[in-house]
């Protein structure tokens, strides 16, 4: 059994380890290591298209994760105060956001936004006094909206689980001691849920940073890092892609390990 | 004007859940409605959508039967393949592993899942491609081996991509298992094999069902793995959707396929939850 488990770990890590190894390969072959070189990293880092895509991914990731964390945490707190029917509706919507395949979220958002933009642009053109009315189009806004919708559901789930494990005694004790609801929130509730909020933020960012399929539909003329990598792969496998892939791997590794460290205290399951 | 306590409380609640509700309404519910409306429309001559009320898009689903067949075949097969490998690993982590190593070992399983699927799939594309393993085989005299762009390559990519997601729920359900039951079973003279099939396996079934459901559902909407490792030869519903929306611009037909995909997902989820509830005896089965 031990041997089987060991081989599964080897299976999980060998391909990514080889990608990192061959990103330092001087030659172009995937099976022969012909010498150590950091040439491909230099090429990748001086590639203007790649840097532009990276910057776009960082902006989309930071904005969508921030909004998702803020609204998702607020929703998790607010759902403690609503009636059972309202809570059931929200639970169903959050669950739907998580189980609906990314490809469907991308398509549905594309279809709806193109329709809405068509109407809005027509109206804008009609009422705009100048010659060149502003035009709404797919871009940062639509990627942020779609990523944030999904990751907000993720954040709410994580924070809600933490709130549920808190118990109400501590909040009641605080109000028995004449703390105002605001004081109770800042001094009792927030410090307790903060690790899960931060973990939610990191997972939201990681998701947005790694997502290909939703952005592929709603990015319009913008290119995110996964879209750039995908397009490069279709043009042909090169060691430069290995270098980019290695850097993406290291970035995700740092993010996910931070999230796990944050979530380690005070959680009883290891589902994420 | 002084607000009553009750009104103020309601306003605070509204301010808390309002933004999330609005976001879900605008970017989940509204798009979904738009997609359903599109699925009953017609393709405009220049591509895109023309308003209509017709079932012809749904009647035409048969023309993408290959994509549905591939997906509905490889998604469950892939999930089962994941399960066969995942169960022993989860069992080892929950029951056999030394507690001081457990956290590290579990982290090592989770981490790959949260790193880019694109990069992890690319890794196999690189290894299976002409310059990878086939090239190595050529060096030892085995020529003309084709690995990439085959159903096996897609299956391998699926197992590689989703194994962590299968291990986790099974691990969680095995970890919750009361060890005293296993001891009692052994004390009463049960062989380890009968303890496993009589106690361990039935009690871990909710985790197994959660894992199967999660992996199957994600695979039903998969695009990258068949695209990169199947090279257009192993075509999934996701690939058909990208093709219809971004290349041939037949949005109503694409919407009809997407709506059908959601229906399939809901059916799979309902069946899985039913089975999981029956075994767990409770509705508290965490899907996330």
User: What is the C-alpha to C-alpha distance for residues B288 and A207, in angstroms, rounded to an integer?
Assistant: 14
Q: What are phi and psi of B116, to 5 degrees?
A: -45, 120
CB-based burial label for A130 (10 Å; 0-12, 13-18, 19+) = exposed
> In chain B, which residue's Cα lies nearest the Cα of A77?
B16
> In chain A, which residue's Cα lies nearest the Cα of B30?
A112
- Position A89 pLDDT exceeds 90: yes
Instruction: Tell me if A9 and B108 make a contact (CB, 8 A cut-off).
Output: yes
Q: What are phi and psi of A93, to 5 degrees?
A: -65, -45
Residue B242 contacts by C-beta under 8 Å, 6 or more apart in sequence? A103, A216, B223, B227
User: What is the C-alpha to C-alpha distance for residues A26 and A38, in angstroms, rounded to an integer?
Assistant: 8
ipTM associated with this complex:
0.87
Show residues of chain B in contact with A74, CB under 8 Å. 15-17, 19-20
- Other CB atoms within 10 A of residue A1 CB: 11
Query: How far are the Cα atoms of A76, A173, A184 from residue A180, in angstroms, in the given order?
Result: 20, 12, 6
Question: Where residue A222 falls among pLDDT bands split at 50, 70, 90?
Answer: very high
> In chain B, which residue's Cα lies nearest the Cα of A92?
B24
Q: Which residues span the domain enclosing B135?
A: 71-280
pLDDT digit string (tens) for A135-179? Answer: 888 989 999 999 999 999 999 999 998 888 877 777 788 878 888
Question: How many structural domains is chain B composed of?
Answer: 1
User: What is the C-alpha to C-alpha distance for residues A160 and A74, in angstroms, rounded to an integer?
Assistant: 10
Whether B208 is covered by a domain: the verdict is yes
The residue that leads in pLDDT, A6 or A29, is A6
Instruction: Tell me if B115 and A100 make a contact (CB, 8 A cut-off).
Output: no
Instruction: Tell me if B112 and A12 make a contact (CB, 8 A cut-off).
Output: yes
CATH 1.10.3720.10 assigned to domain A49-264? The reply is yes
CB-based burial label for B63 (10 Å; 0-12, 13-18, 19+) = exposed
pLDDT at B133: 85
Q: Which of residues 149-178 of B touch A (CB under 8 A)?
A: 160, 163-164, 168-169, 171-172, 175
Contact between B148 and B231 under an 8 Å Cβ cutoff? The reply is yes
User: What is the C-alpha to C-alpha distance for residues A45 and A52, in angstroms, rounded to an integer?
Assistant: 11
Instruction: Tell me if A270 and B172 make a contact (CB, 8 A cut-off).
Output: yes
- Other CB atoms within 10 A of residue A182 CB: 8
Q: Give yes or no for B20 touching A (CB within 8 A).
A: yes
Q: How many CA atoms lie within 13 A of B153 on its CB side?
A: 29
pLDDT at A268: 43
Whether B11 is covered by a domain: the verdict is no
DSSP lists the bridge partners of residue B43 as B49
pLDDT digit string (tens) for B143-174? Answer: 788 888 889 999 999 999 999 999 999 998 88
Whether B129 is covered by a domain: the verdict is yes
Whether B14 is covered by a domain: the verdict is no
Residue B103 contacts by C-beta under 8 Å, 6 or more apart in sequence? A264
pLDDT at B138: 82
Whether B142 is covered by a domain: the verdict is yes
Name which of B23, B30, B115 is nearest A252 (Cβ-Cβ). B115
E strands in chain B: 42-43, 49-50
Instruction: Tell me if A108 and B35 make a contact (CB, 8 A cut-off).
Output: yes
Whether B24 is covered by a domain: the verdict is no
End-to-end CA distance of chain A: 25
**pTM for this model (two decimals):** 0.88
Q: Which of residues 258-287 of B touch A (CB under 8 A)?
A: 258, 261-262, 265, 269, 286-287
Query: How far are the Cα atoms of B18, B78, B106, B158 from residue B211, in angstroms, in the given order?
Result: 33, 12, 16, 14
The nearest CA of chain A is from the CA of B245 a distance in Å of 8
**In 3-state terms, what secondary structure has residue B50?**
strand
Whether B243 is covered by a domain: the verdict is yes
Question: Where residue A23 falls among pLDDT bands split at 50, 70, 90?
Answer: confident
Distance of CA B20 to the CA centre of its chain: 25
User: What is the C-alpha to C-alpha distance for residues A242 and B132, in angstroms, rounded to an integer?
Assistant: 13
> In chain B, which residue's Cα lies nearest the Cα of A76?
B17
Contact between B210 and B276 under an 8 Å Cβ cutoff? The reply is yes
Average pLDDT, chain A: 87
User: What is the C-alpha to C-alpha distance for residues A60 and A206, in angstroms, rounded to an integer?
Assistant: 11
pLDDT at A127: 85
The nearest CA of chain A is from the CA of B91 a distance in Å of 10
Domain ranges of chain A: 1-37, 49-264
The residue that leads in pLDDT, A10 or A263, is A10
Whether B32 is covered by a domain: the verdict is no
Report the CATH number at residue B263: 1.10.3720.10
User: What is the C-alpha to C-alpha distance for residues A111 and A215, in angstroms, rounded to an integer?
Assistant: 14
pLDDT tens digit at each of 288 positions of chain B: 567 888 888 898 899 999 999 999 999 999 999 999 999 998 888 877 888 888 888 888 888 888 999 999 999 999 999 999 999 999 999 988 888 888 888 888 888 888 889 989 998 988 898 778 888 888 888 878 888 888 999 999 999 999 999 999 999 888 888 778 888 888 888 888 888 888 888 888 888 988 998 899 999 999 999 999 998 788 899 999 999 988 888 999 999 999 999 999 999 888 888 887 776 655 444 443
Name which of B12, B32, B172 is nearest A269 (Cβ-Cβ). B172
Q: Which of residues 132-151 of A touch B (CB under 8 A)?
A: 145-146, 148-149
pLDDT at B285: 43
* Best mutation target, B118, B139, B254, to test chain A (most A CBs within 10 A): B118
* Best mutation target, B114, B131, B165, to test chain A (most A CBs within 10 A): B114
User: What is the C-alpha to C-alpha distance for residues A60 and A139, in angstroms, rounded to an integer?
Assistant: 10
């Amino acid at each position: 059994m031990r041997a089987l488990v060991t081989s599964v770990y080897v299976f999980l890590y060998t391909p990514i380890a080889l990608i990192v190894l061959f990103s330092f390969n001087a030659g172009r072959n995937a099976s022969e290591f012909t010498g150590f070189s950091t040439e491909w990293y230099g090429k990748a880092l001086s590639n203007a298209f790649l840097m532009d895509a990276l910057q776009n991914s960082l902006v989309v990731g930071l904005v969508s994760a921030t909004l998702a964390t803020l609204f998702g945490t607020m929703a998790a707190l607010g759902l403690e105060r609503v009636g059972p029917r309202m809570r059931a509706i929200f639970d169903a919507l959050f669950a739907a956001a998580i189980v609906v395949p990314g490809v469907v979220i991308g398509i549905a958002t594309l279809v709806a936004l193109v329709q809405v933009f068509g109407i809005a642009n027509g109206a804008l053109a009609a009422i705009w006094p100048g010659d060149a009315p502003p035009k709404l189009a797919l871009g940062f806004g639509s990627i942020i909206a779609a990523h944030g919708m999904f990751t907000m559901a993720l954040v709410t789930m994580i924070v809600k689980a933490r709130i549920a494990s808190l118990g109400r005694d501590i909040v009641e004790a605080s109000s028995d001691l004449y703390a105002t609801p605001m004081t109770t929130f800042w001094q009792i509730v927030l410090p307790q849920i903060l690790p899960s909020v931060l973990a939610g933020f990191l997972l939201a960012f990681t998701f947005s940073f790694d997502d290909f399929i939703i952005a592929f539909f709603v990015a319009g003329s913008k290119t995110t890092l996964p879209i750039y990598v995908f397009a490069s792969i279709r043009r042909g496998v090169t060691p430069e892609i290995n270098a980019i892939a290695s850097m993406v791997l290291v970035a995700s590794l740092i993010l996910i390990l931070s999230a796990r460290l944050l979530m380690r205290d005070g959680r009883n399951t290891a589902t994420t | 004007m002084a607000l009553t306590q009750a009104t103020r409380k309601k306003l605070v609640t509204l301010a808390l859940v309002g933004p999330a509700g609005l976001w879900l309404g605008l970017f989940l519910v509204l798009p979904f409605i738009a997609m359903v409306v599109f699925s009953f429309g017609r393709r405009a001559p220049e591509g895109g959508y023309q308003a209509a009320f017709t079932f012809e898009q749904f009647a035409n689903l048969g023309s993408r039967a290959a994509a549905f067949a591939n997906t509905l075949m490889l998604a469950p097969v892939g999930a089962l393949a994941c399960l066969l490998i995942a169960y022993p690993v989860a069992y080892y982590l929950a029951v056999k592993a030394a507690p001081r190593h457990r956290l590290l070992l579990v982290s090592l399983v989770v981490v790959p899942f949260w790193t880019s699927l694109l990069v992890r799939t690319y890794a196999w594309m690189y290894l299976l491609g002409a310059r990878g393993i086939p090239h190595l085989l050529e060096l030892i005299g085995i020529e003309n081996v084709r690995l990439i762009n085959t159903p096996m390559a897609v299956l391998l990519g699926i197992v590689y991509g989703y194994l962590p997601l299968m291990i986790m729920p099974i691990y969680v359900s095995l970890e919750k298992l009361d060890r005293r039951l296993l001891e009692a079973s052994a004390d009463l003279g049960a062989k380890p094999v009968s303890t496993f099939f009589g106690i361990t396996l039935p009690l871990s079934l909710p985790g197994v069902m959660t894992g199967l459901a999660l992996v199957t559902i994600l695979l039903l909407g998969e695009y990258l793995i068949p695209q990169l490792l199947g090279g257009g030869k192993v075509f999934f519903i996701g690939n058909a959707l990208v093709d219809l929306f971004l290349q041939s611009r037949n949005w109503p037909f694409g919407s009809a396929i997407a709506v059908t995909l959601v229906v399939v997902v809901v059916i799979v989820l309902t069946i899985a939850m039913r089975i999981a509830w029956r075994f767990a005896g409770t509705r508290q089965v965490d899907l996330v």
